Amino acid sequence: MIGIARRILDSMLCHVPRLTHEILCTLMAEVCAILNSRPLAAVSTDLDSPTVLSPATILTQKTGQRVEPFQHFGVKDMIKSQWRQVQVLADQFWTQWKERYLTTLQARQKWNSERPSLKEGDVVLMKDTDAPRIQWPLGVVQQCFESEDGRIRKVSLRVIKHEKPVLYTRPVSELIYLFSV
């Protein structure tokens, strides 16, 4: 994880001209929050509200922290204020981190052996490009759809969004298996 974060920061910061000490310290605090928000293991087996353990949970000993979505700033906002510059850099780090971290969770090996498919009741992590920073959308598989070859290619899952359950249909390639209940 440290190597991935370091490579992302190296590629980002070599193109940023002026970084003050305050900007760099604030950016590193944002990076630490992003790294510590990643899911590690299951905490509860409750299908209504699945929760996972993260490094932030271990550090703060709090679960289910609500984080309000951050306002989206563009690259043009970087020159307006130092805080906006940090938010733009943190958003850039988040998009690259999420992409690289999720690929480490979803390792693709050659199909030498049969692997179990997703089934109803499995808790999965969704690859959601619109998810706000530091939020990892969890879903519970409600229904599995088989393809013509008998493999599970698509599932229907329930996600809690804005404190209401929402049903999504997603391909299995867009989901990362976390645990079974």
Report the 3 state secondary structure along 68-110: CCCCCCCHHHHHCCHHHHHHHHHHHHHHHHHHHHHHHHCCCCC
* pTM of this prediction exceeds 0.85: no
Determine the pLDDT at residue 180. Answer: 76
pLDDT for 61 equals 75
Domain assignments of the chain as residue spans, ordered by start: 2-105, 122-180
**Which pLDDT value is given to residue 160?**
80
Instruction: Say what the alpha-carbon torsion angle 105, 109, 115, 117 is, to the nearest 10 degrees.
Output: 50
**C-alpha span between 163 and 102 (Å, rounded):** 25
What does the pLDDT read at residue 134? Answer: 84
**Per-residue pLDDT for the chain (181 aa), expressed as one digit of tens each?**
889 999 999 999 888 877 889 989 999 999 999 999 888 876 766 666 677 788 888 888 776 655 555 666 665 655 567 878 888 899 999 999 988 888 888 766 666 666 778 889 888 888 887 788 888 888 889 999 988 888 888 999 998 887 788 899 999 888 988 877 6
CA-derived radius of gyration, the chain: 18
